Amino acid sequence: MKGGGGTPVSNDLRLVYFATSNKHKFDEAKDILADYGIDLKMVREKTEEIQDDDLRTIAVHALSKALEKDERPTMIEDAGLFVKMLNGFPGPYSSYVHRVLGVDGILRLMNHEENRDAEFRSVVAFGNSPSIIETFQGVVKGTISLQPKGRSGFGFDPIFIPKGSKKTFAEMSLEEKNHFSHRADALRKFAKWYTSL
């Protein structure tokens, strides 16, 4: 079968491989894609992550590398937290910054700062062969809380309050987070495209 964007798609539309080392991401994605009849299988490996200012470039590179190993319907997702008063930091470096500075580090950088606007961005890259890859972008706007709250989720969830809620992502159930999140936004775009092929 041929996709609208030219991507050849397996006849078994139901099964997609998600190459990620992050079980939280996987659980969120599985829940969303189930609504579209897509079954997600986790390929638990650290993807090859290049340093770049652009999430899309990082996701496409990682997916090409995964597809060089196995030509099968595969998805990669790259995400980051972009804080307005920090000129978009940590952005594509979120994973490293979370490891080194943690949520407390971001809160320290924002000490006494009134403008707490931030957004999470996500890029989902999907393909069947390294030469043809489709990407889908998602975003959620919100604010950085004054202190960490909640125990669910991962990463910067305890300090991010999406627009339209009073709770941080870490105070939400997986389903509530999926109602708002950048990842859900990108994945729904992917799922609509994929199921229309």
Catalytic center residues: 78
What the block records as the tokens of 4 is: 């609208």
Say how far apart CA 109 and CA 194 lie, in whole Å: 41
Contact 144, 155 (CB under 8 A): no
Angle at 158 between CA 154 and CA 163, to 5 degrees: 110
Shortest Å, Cβ 128 to ligand ITT: 19
Q: Which stretch binds ligand ITT (CB under 6 A): 2-10, 65-73, 125-133, 154-162?
A: 154-162
- Give whichever of 77 and 134 is closer to ligand ITT, judged by the CB atom: 77
Question: Taking CB under 6 A as the rule, which mask of x and - marks residues 123-152 in contact with ligand ITT?
Answer: ------------------------------
What does the DSSP 8-state code read for residue 84? G
Residue of the chain from 138, 142, 153, 162 that contacts ligand ITT (CB under 6 A): 153
Please tell me whether residue 95 binds ligand ITT under the rule CB under 6 A. yes
Among 46, 11, 41, smallest CA distance to 27 is for 41
Residue 24 is classified by DSSP as: H
Query: How many C-alpha atoms does 139 have within 13 Å on its Cβ side?
Result: 8
Piece of the chain touching ligand ITT by CB under 6 A; list 30-38, 75-83, 106-114, 131-139: 75-83
Contact pick of 7, 94, 145, 168 for ligand ITT (by CB under 6 A) = 94
Q: Three-class SS of residue 119?
A: strand
CB of residue 112 to ligand ITT, shortest distance in Å: 24
Q: What is the largest CA-CA distance in the chain?
A: 56
- Give the binding site for ligand ITT (CB under 6 A): 20-22, 25, 46-47, 77-81, 94-95, 98, 120, 153-157, 169, 181, 183
